[in-house]
Amino acid sequence: MTEQSRSTAEIIGLVSDVITPIFTIERTMVMPFDLNRHENVGEHGFALGLLAGALAHTIDRSLDTGKITEYALVHNIVQIHSGDVTVWESDEVIRKKITDEMLAADRILADYPMFPWLIGKYKEYELRDTPEKRFVHALDKLYPHILILIEDHHPVHPTWAAYERTEEIAREHVAGFPALLPLFDDLCLMFRQKPHFFSTPIPPDESDRHSL
């Protein structure tokens, strides 16, 4: 086998074993044009990358949009082995997710050591030690709120109590990039005006709130 054909075979292997599976993993979020069609992880990576690149300099002109785009592309790549674990899962499942994702990352790197960028960039992202990484992570956590409001439809239809818990968790993540918190709070206030999102009533003291 020539060097060219070996490289080509390796790239086809990457397309086969890493990229293609990404399009088969369905998320909880649904598409605005078809509420019966779930977004897949690849579509989400594209949307987050485009969104993060578009929004970054409106929030902070010092952000590096190239790095932001790279992080958005790889941020869920390990899900080809670990699956998509949503915030609606049990605490036990969510705790296991961290271990599963680390193992998935090691597996991808072991299978494709010739493409170190893939998992190298993922592991870099997971450190959350730069503004760009924290920006992408925060935007990823408020993205569902935006999509649900656009669709005027909550695909999970949670109880108010269950939603409050996930809102708290999301807020902790968004707080990693504080400049996005006012936006997140505004989105949460909008949620409080949408009783049809929830399977139980919104408490009056919540729907009457003007700030969080």
Minimum distance from CB of 151 to other proteins (Å)? 8
Q: Does 195 bind other proteins (CB under 8 A)?
A: no
User: Pattern of binders to other proteins over 9-28, x per CB under 8 A?
Assistant: --xx-xxx-xxx-xxx----
Q: Does 193 bind other proteins (CB under 8 A)?
A: no
Q: Does 36 bind other proteins (CB under 8 A)?
A: no
Q: Quick check: 40 and 23 in contact, CB under 8 A? A: yes
Q: Which residues contact 36 (CB under 8 A, 6 or more apart)?
A: 30
SS3 122: helix
Minimum distance from CB of 187 to other proteins (Å)? 7
Q: Quick check: 23 and 41 in contact, CB under 8 A? A: yes
- Region binding other proteins by CB under 8 A among candidate stretches 29-37, 90-98, 166-174, 198-206: 29-37
What is the spatial distance between Cα 126 and Cα 173, in angstroms, rounded to a whole number? Answer: 13
Rounded to 10°, the helix 65-74/131-151 angle is 60
Q: Which residues contact 134 (CB under 8 A, 6 or more apart)?
A: 128, 176, 177
The phi and psi torsions of 37 (rounded to 5 degrees) equal -110, 120
User: Please, which residue, 74 or 202, has the CB nearer to other proteins?
Assistant: 74
User: Please, which residue, 118 or 156, has the CB nearer to other proteins?
Assistant: 118
Two structure tokens written together for 158: 């949670």
Task: List alpha helices for the chain, DSSP H.
Answer: 3-14, 20-22, 41-59, 65-74, 79-82, 91-111, 116-127, 131-151, 160-174, 181-191, 204-207
User: Please, which residue, 146 or 162, has the CB nearer to other proteins?
Assistant: 146
Minimum distance from CB of 191 to other proteins (Å)? 11
- Region binding other proteins by CB under 8 A among candidate stretches 50-58, 95-103, 123-131, 170-178: 50-58
Q: Does 175 bind other proteins (CB under 8 A)?
A: no
Contact positions with other proteins (CB under 8 A) in 58-117: 58-59, 64-67, 69-70, 73-74, 115-117
Q: Which residues contact 64 (CB under 8 A, 6 or more apart)?
A: 132
Footprint of other proteins (CB under 8 A): 4-5, 7-8, 11-12, 14-16, 18-20, 22-24, 31-33, 39-40, 42-43, 45-47, 49-51, 53-59, 64-67, 69-70, 73-74, 115-118, 146-147, 149-150, 152, 182-183, 186-187, 190
